[in-house]
Amino acid sequence: MKKLINDPADVVREALLGMQAAHGDRLRVDHSNRVVFRADAPRRGKVGLVSGGGSGHEPMHGGFVGPGMLDAACAGEVFTSPVPDQMLAATLGVDGGAGVLHVVKNYTGDVMNFEMAAELAAENGVEVVSVVTDDDVAVQDSLYTAGRRGVGVTVLLEKIAGAAAEEGRPLAEVADIARRVDGQGRSMGMALTSCTVPAAGRPTFELGENEIEVGIGIHGEPGRERRPLAPAREVAAMLVEPVLADLPAADGAPVIAFLNGMGGTPLIELYIMYAEVQQLLEKAGVPVARSLVGNYITSLEMAGCSVTLLRADDELVRLWDAPVSTPGLRWGM
């Protein structure tokens, strides 16, 4: 295992030290709870947005904390759900009196722990609504999930619901918008290589020299099938076709097209893939309103990519365009 780490047991703690060092001007890290907060949390009267999950998907979620997106993110061990106490600390820490939205990716541990945290928060007088993302069309049930896995849509949802919260909209509306994003978004990913969880010290799975895994999960969970290595244009079709087949028509609204890197694939390849994705969408008659290309929801150093398409009406596009200032996504401020 070749990694730029110290002790494998310290990876998450030390990465949070690095986040604090790099972004201490606008983030505050609660190291005992492993929660990344907006420096100015809680914001009086604003709905708080809390997410979190296993580490190893950076910049998600800690890198999406900041004005216009999340108020706090809980960091679990690599590929392991945070515990309810972390989520409770995050929830209480961001509550500004308008309630808190939990953004939860659909993995059994995360869902269970966020539910428990929401109950504890309610006991503390904080209203919590949870929205669970389940946008991965690859498989119905999976290694850590009953139902579909939550993947790339989570990034878009955190941005769009974050903008709605920043506008001062009430919890029910912010939650509605978040549910709309999950309902209108679909994703699928693939891997060229495995990743290695530091504490395990060896690759999560093995792929042959000429094999790819289509429909891979963001923790290396098995996908739909193994296929021979193929050109970018064929790989793009393997991802775009199932996503389009499952994508709600939503009155023919255009899409936000998100081509995500899994962590180990260089940007030059992501652009090649995006060119293919855009051509496929053009052929299918799907207009692209906005796009995002880069490493946003990763699986450590896994090589590969995923495609997320979100049917975005005018309101969702407007919220997407709203200013945001986080380490991972930043524009307009």
Helices of type H across 24-107: 84-94
The catalytically annotated residue of 23, 61, 102, 219 is 219
CA–CA separation, 41 vs 59, rounded Å?
20
CB under 8 A: which stretch of 58-66, 97-105, 133-141, 147-155 binds its own copies?
Answer: 58-66
Q: Cα dihedral sign for 309, 315, 318, 324?
A: negative
Residues β-bridged to residue 227: 212
Question: How near is the Cβ of 301 to its own copies at its closest, in Å?
Answer: 5
Q: Quick check: 301 binds its own copies (CB under 8 A)? A: yes
Q: In what order do the strands lie in the sheet with 128-133?
A: 27-30, 35-38, 72-78, 48-55, 100-105, 128-133
The catalytically annotated residue of 23, 57, 61, 102 is 57
Q: Is 31 a catalytic residue?
A: no
Q: Which residue lies nearer to its own copies by CB, 47 or 303?
A: 303
Among 28, 183, 272, 321, binds its own copies (CB under 8 A): 272
Beta strands in the chain (DSSP E): 27-30, 35-38, 48-55, 72-78, 100-105, 128-133, 185-191, 211-214, 225-228, 255-261, 288-294, 304-311, 324-325, 330-331
For residue 311 the two structure tokens come to 């049917």
Among 132, 155, 273, 312, binds its own copies (CB under 8 A): 273
Q: Quick check: 263 binds its own copies (CB under 8 A)? A: yes
Q: Quick check: 58 binds its own copies (CB under 8 A)? A: yes
Give catalytic residues, as residue numbers. Answer: 57, 219
**Interface ranges with its own copies (CB under 8 A):** 2-7, 11-12, 14-19, 21-22, 55-56, 58-59, 63, 78, 192-193, 209, 212, 229, 231-233, 235, 259, 263-275, 278, 291, 293, 295, 298, 300-301, 303-305, 325, 327, 330-333
